[in-house]
Chain A
Amino acid sequence: MNAQTAITEGHVDAPKGNYLTNGSTLASWLLTKDHKRIAIMYLISVSAFFMMGGLYAATIRLELLTPASDMVETATYNKVFTQHGILMIFFFLIPSIPAILGNFLLPLMIGAKDLALPRINLISLYIYWLGGGLTLFALMQGGVDTGWTFYTPYSTTFSNSFVMFVGLGIFINGFSSILTGLNFIVTIHTMRAPGMTWFRMPLFVWAHYATSLVMILGTPVVAITVLLLAIERATHVGIFDPSIGGDPILFQHMFWFYSHPAVYIMILPGMGVISELISNFSRKKIFGYEFIAFSSIAIAVFGFLVWGHHMFVSGQSIYAGMVFSFLTMVVAVPSAIKMFNWTATLYKGSISFDTPMLYAIGFMGLFLIGGLTGLFLGSMGLTVHLTDTYFVVAHFHYVMVGGQVIAYLGGIHYWWPKMTGRMYSEFWGKISAMLVFVGFNLTFFPQFILGYQGMPRRYAAYPEELQVLNIFSTAGASVLGIGLIMPAIYLTHSLIFGKKAEDNPWMHPGLEWRTTSPPPTENFDVMPVVTWEAYEFGEESGLDLEGAKRRDAATIA
């Protein structure tokens, strides 16, 4: 509908457009200020990075199929695991849920027409492309072999690789996530629809508020750190390199001051998604709304006080270690609050096992294991044995993949009808959700045992007695790979052949379901007024439950 028809025909009968049909030229996408289109562009770019990171992961698992370092040289292997980490963390995990689902849903969920600063939102996408492009350029020139943490003096003295370019790429990319976080905070503060009070916001929004705080407070520090590292590489002045008077521990402090909170950037949005999914598929108001909301904020705050637990064995004083060890245990409290509240929400709920719910249940199990093994690593005594072993690798994959990636997939399925206006195939969805769960556990559970037996991370070769478990792990990775490729296929397929989605296929009271699927460019035809509490699944929130029952009966008949 354009302005002309609006004048001549009035607003009632004119055919409705949506954000996808509002302009089809390349420029209408690249110059858009619509948060939904920007989210879709993020989805495509982030998926590309995920695929590249996945290929590196496949290389790692294939190399570790045999004890000898035979498939790739050890020097190449160093580059493979480094680049797997860099692509997955900076270009997939950190932007995954915030920049895609957050961007798309946050304004819809609070009843706004757009994010508060749409131009900044588009700029952040361009910055992401610029940083990603520079990093890819560096990888094609020869890549880096320092590990994703860029520890000095690996990254200053011993590495002949393209540390400077990758550092600059990450520096630039950091500002993308800063601007996204800034935009979210402003939007949540000022753009809520009438009646959408702070404690009526979906928990997804609370989780993104906490994430945004971390993005704004943490990312600039790592930006300046990698900038200093890049300048040090270029000028050979010692700031982190001990051989010319620098301080390598300072690098670790500055790096982890961001990179530990960044771990929470990589899990908090996932927790937000899970709160939505658990509540919706139990058809029940979430248990302990305020506790879940504030536990997100608590995780963001405590997250800034525990970075030293990455440095227990690398030259930090033992007293600092004890403090960090204690504070690390404290973070377990808000995480546990979330777990217990989700479980309590399930209790006596009317649970249905749709695809997103399978992911949500999977998340709860996997995050539980990931979280509990974190306690092992957080205690100073045990960690001396476990540092830099596969136990650590398994732990953070349980949190990052078992947590964030699973939540991301669950979220993508759950909101797919809203984003695209199409339903995906429920059958293939369930199959792939189960494959991902089984494949993931088969890949990473053996690694806990491997790590406990002393297999160090970041080596291309290992003793022969560890081969059986490594074969399990590689086999699991293949299953996981298939499970991850499947959604790419059936989701793309659904874009054209999928059943048209209703406006509210899940009968959820949230604002994002009260507009059309897909939503119009301005999100809502009429400014919504919120009169119900969050997760109110009854009639009082204005849902047409009777109508839904009639429709269901009609489909079954």
Chain B
Amino acid sequence: MSTHETSDKFVYHEPGLQHQFEDMGQQEESVSIGMWMFLVQEILFFGGLFTAYLVFRSKYPMAFAAGSNHLDAFWGGLNTLVLIVSSLTMALTVYYAQKNNRSMQVIMIVLTMFFGAAFLGVKAIEYTDKYNHGLIPVAGLNKKIKDDKTAHSTGHEKPCWEVDHNAPAVEHPNPRGEFQWTDCSLVKLAQDKNYLTESEKTGYFVKDETGAAKIDPDKFRDKVRIFFFLYFVMTGLHALHMVVGLGLMLWLLWTAFRGHYTSEYYMPVEMSGLYWHFVDIVWIFLFPLLYLLGRHFLAAH
């Protein structure tokens, strides 16, 4: 090793070995630990969001149940399935890289990308639906619906806890694209059955002239809005991770197509796989927390 110290040219023994390492084993170990450490910090990153979700859900379970019931469990379930299958194709990509099978690698990467894109497509459908129904928690970002006096709904005059769930959906006027929420039947339900939390007892009600507590639809709306805020931040950050994952896949597709990966050297495939599985697992937690919790209240009516 006489010319060890200066020129990279003399240090590269194996393809893909970087100059700071002695051998491939050391490089693989380093990259692997690095990726796991990255995933640890990702867990804590999402952990902060899960904490916020947990705190607000335990304070306002009814508002969260109400918001949760307005997410479409069909699309959410479909997306869960799509992601699980994409994890399978991702795992198969690693398998075929280990088996030196270039064409199957490419096919599997394309499939993974297809499922990833399908997931984002479904997400786009869901987001559009929220946009149309005034469920985006930011004022001005929802669909603006003119205040048409003739088409004005009659359900609007009823108290908010008597909204008929089976009636056809009415488009409420929303000239400024604000967050809208008219249904507080779950509050009534919880009040009747006496399982409101302490926070809810102050958080959903106002005192009328006689001093009796009365459901305040605006205060309830603000709590549901927190649910949708968390929904958009959590699924939005998750979708952002999916986009990054798709970028990784694109790079992987190109390098796999050129035959970079063999049974000797498939670290990048394995590492991208770890990332992909991690993003899947985040969704596995998001789906029940956002879509499923509180669904049993739908049957209570």
Q: Which residues of A contact B (CB under 8 A)?
A: 1-3, 6-7, 10-11, 17, 112-118, 120, 178, 181-183, 185-187, 189-191, 216-221, 223-225, 228, 231, 235-239, 244-247, 250, 253-254, 520-522, 524-527
Determine how close the nearest CB of chain A comes to the CB of B80; give it in whole angstroms: 23
B203 at the interface (CB under 8 A from A): yes
Closest to A14 in B: B6
The answer to whether B51 and A238 touch across the interface, beta carbons within 8 angstroms, is no
Binds A, one of B37-45, B67-75, B114-122, B153-161: B37-45
Q: Is B5 an interface residue (CB 8 A)?
A: yes
**B1 proximity list for chain A (CB < 8 A):** 526
Q: Evaluate contact between B45 and A223: CB separation under 8 angstroms.
A: yes
Which size class do B's interface residues fall under?
35 or more
Q: Could you say which residues of chain A place their CB within 8 Å of the CB of B7?
A: 2-3, 6
| A residues near B5, Cβ cutoff 8 Å | 1, 11, 520-522, 524-525
Interfacial chain A residues near B9, Cβ < 8 Å: 3
The docked-state distance in angstroms from the alpha carbon of A182 to that of B38 is 7
Q: Which residues of A contact B47 (CB under 8 A)?
A: 220-221
Partner of B4, one of A181, A218, A525: A525
| Contact B45 A238, beta carbon cutoff 8 Å | no
A168 to chain B, nearest CB (A): 15
Known contacts A6-B3, A182-B34, A254-B48: A190-B29 contact under CB 8 Å: yes
Check if B125 is an interface residue, CB within 8 A of chain A: no
With CB as the reference atom, state the residue of chain B lying closest to A250: B55
With CB as the reference atom, state the residue of chain B lying closest to A5. Answer: B6
Distance between Cα atoms of A182 and B42 in the complex (Å):
12
Q: Which residue of A lies closest to B28 (CB)?
A: A190
Pair A225/B41 contact, Cβ less than 8 Å = no
Q: Quick one: closest A residue to B51, CB to CB? A: A254
Pick 7 A–B contacts, CB within 8 A, sort by A: A7-B3, A178-B41, A190-B30, A191-B30, A236-B138, A245-B219, A520-B5
0/1 interface trace, chain B 16-50, chain A, CB 8 Å (1 if under): 00111110001001110110011011101111110
Given contacts A7-B3, A245-B223, contact A190 B139 (CB under 8 A): no
Scoring B31, B41, B219 by chain A CB atoms within 10 A of each residue's CB, the highest score goes to B41
B44 pairs with A221, CB closer than 8 A: yes
Contact in complex: B40, A217 (CB < 8 Å): yes
With A3-B6, A114-B20: A220-B42 Cβ-Cβ less than 8 Å: yes
Nearest first, the 9 A-B pairs at minimum CB distance are: A224-B48, A220-B45, A3-B7, A114-B20, A116-B30, A220-B44, A235-B138, A245-B222, A237-B229
Contacting residues, chain B, for A117 (C-beta < 8 A): 30-31, 34
Inter-chain pairs besides A118-B20, A231-B233, 4 sampled, C-beta below 8 Å = A178-B41, A189-B33, A216-B37, A239-B52
A191 and B20 in contact (CB under 8 A), knowing A220-B48, A221-B45, A224-B48? yes
Residue in B closest to A119 when the chains form the complex, CB atoms: B18
Complex contacts, B34 vs chain A, CB 8 Å: 116-117, 120, 182-183, 186
Say yes or no for B194: interface residue by CB 8 A criterion.
no
**B49, A224: Cβ atoms closer than 8 Å:** yes
A250, B52: Cβ atoms closer than 8 Å? yes
In the complex the two chains form, is A238's CB within 8 Å of B226's CB? yes
Q: In whole Å, how far is A105's beta carbon from the nearest beta carbon of chain B?
A: 16
- Shortest Cβ distance from residue A372 to the other chain B in the assembled complex, whole angstroms: 32
Separation in Å of the B248 CB from the closest CB of chain A?
15
Smallest Cβ distance from A237 to chain B, in angstroms?
4
B137 beta carbon closer than 8 Å to chain A: yes
* With contact pairs A224-B45, A237-B226 given, residues A10 and B2 touching in the complex (Cβ less than 8 Å): yes
Inter-chain contacts of B33 with A (CB < 8 A): 185-186, 189-190
CB of A247 within 8 A of CB of B45, answer no
Tell me if B41 and A228 are in contact (CB < 8 A). Answer: no
Q: Identify B19's interface contact among A10, A114, A254, A520, CB under 8 A.
A: A114
Q: A246–B226 contact, CB under 8 A? A: yes
- With A182-B34, A250-B52 given, is the CB distance from A238 to B222 under 8 Å? yes
Binary CB contact string for chain B from 55 to 98 against chain A (1 if under 8 A, 0 otherwise): 11001000000000000000000000000000000000000000
Whole-angstrom CA separation of A219 from B34 in the bound complex: 16
Question: Chain B contacts of A115 at CB under 8 A?
Answer: 20
- Do residues A113 and B233 form an inter-chain contact, with CB atoms below 8 A? no
Report how far A521 CA is from B33 CA in the complex, Å. Answer: 25
Q: Which of B10, B31, B203 contacts A245 (CB 8 A)?
A: B203
Q: Which of A2, A3, A185, A235 is B137 in contact with, Cβ under 8 Å?
A: A235
Set B20, B48, B51: member contacting A116, Cβ < 8 A: B20
A7 to B1 alpha-carbon distance, docked (Å) = 12
B220-243 contact mask (Cβ, 8 Å, vs A): 1 or 0? 001101100110010000000000
Q: Which of B4, B20, B22, B203 contacts A526 (CB 8 A)?
A: B4
Q: Separation in Å of the A242 CB from the closest CB of chain B?
A: 11
A3 to chain B: closest residue by CB? B7
Known A-B contacts A117-B34, A182-B34, A186-B30; the reply to A247 vs B56 at CB < 8 A is yes
> Chain B contacts of A224 at CB under 8 A?
45-46, 48-49
* B29 / chain A contacts, CB cutoff of 8 Å: 189-190
Which chain A residue lies CB-closest to B141?
Answer: A235
What B residues does A526 contact at CB under 8 A? 1, 4
Q: Contact check, B137 vs A522: say whether CB atoms are below 8 A apart.
A: no
Query: What CA separation (Å) do A191 and B42 show in the bound complex?
Result: 24
Please state if B2 and A216 are interface contacts (CB–CB under 8 Å).
no
- Cα A6 to Cα B222 in complex, Å, equals 72
Q: Is the CB of B59 within 8 A of A113?
A: no
A216-B41, A220-B48 as given contacts; A238 in contact with B225, CB under 8 Å = yes
Measured between alpha carbons, how far is A113 from B40 in the docked complex, in Å?
A: 26
A220 cross-chain contacts in B, Cβ below 8 A: 41-42, 44-45, 47-48
Contacts of B42 in A (CB 8 A): 220
Give the residue name and chain of the A residue nearest to B228 (CB): A237
Complex Cα gap A147–B238 (Å): 31
Q: With a CB–CB cut-off of 8 A, which chain A residues contact B49?
A: 224, 228
Q: Which residues of B contact A10 (CB under 8 A)?
A: 2
Query: Chain A: which residue is nearest B229 at the CB level?
Result: A237
What residues on B are CB-neighbors of A221 within 8 Å? 44-45, 47-48
Q: Across the interface, which residues of A come within 8 angstroms of B137, CB to CB?
A: 235, 237
Task: Give the distance in Å from the alpha carbon of A182 to the alpha carbon of B44 in the complex.
Answer: 14
Decide yes or no: A228 and B233 within 8 Å by CB, A11-B2, A186-B33, A217-B41 being known contacts: yes
CA distance A435 to B172 in the complex (A): 72
Would you call A112 and B20 a contact (CB within 8 A)?
Answer: yes
Chain B residues positioned under 8 Å from A113 (CB to CB): 19-20
| Chain B residues positioned under 8 Å from A216 (CB to CB) | 37, 40-41, 44
Chain A residues with CB below 8 A from B41, complex form = 178, 182, 216-217, 219-220
Query: B48: which A residues are within 8 A, CB to CB?
Result: 220-221, 223-225, 228, 254
Cα of A239 to Cα of B222 in the assembled complex, Å = 10
Bound together, the chains give a CA A245 to CA B3 distance in angstroms of 67
Within 8 A of A (CB), among B168-189: none
Q: Report the minimal beta-carbon distance from A277 to chain B, rounded to whole angstroms.
A: 28
Q: Could you tell me the distance between the alpha carbons of A526 and B3 in the complex, rounded to whole angstroms? A: 10
A521 to B52, CA, bound (A): 47
The answer to whether A2 and B2 have CB atoms under 8 Å apart is no
Measured in the bound complex, the distance between the Cα atoms of B202 and A245 in whole Å is: 11
Distance in Å: Cβ of A409 to nearest Cβ of chain B: 30
Scoring A2, A11, A190, A525 by chain B CB atoms within 10 A of each residue's CB, the highest score goes to A190
Give the residues in chain B near A181, CB-CB below 8 Å: 37
The CA-CA distance from A112 to B52 in the complex, in Å, is: 42
Asked if B20 and A182 sit within 8 Å, CB to CB, the answer is no
A22 closest partner in B (C-beta): B6
A276 to chain B, nearest CB (A): 24
Which residues of A lie under 8 Å from residue B37 when comparing CB positions? 181-182, 185-186, 216
Residue of B nearest to A254 (CB): B48
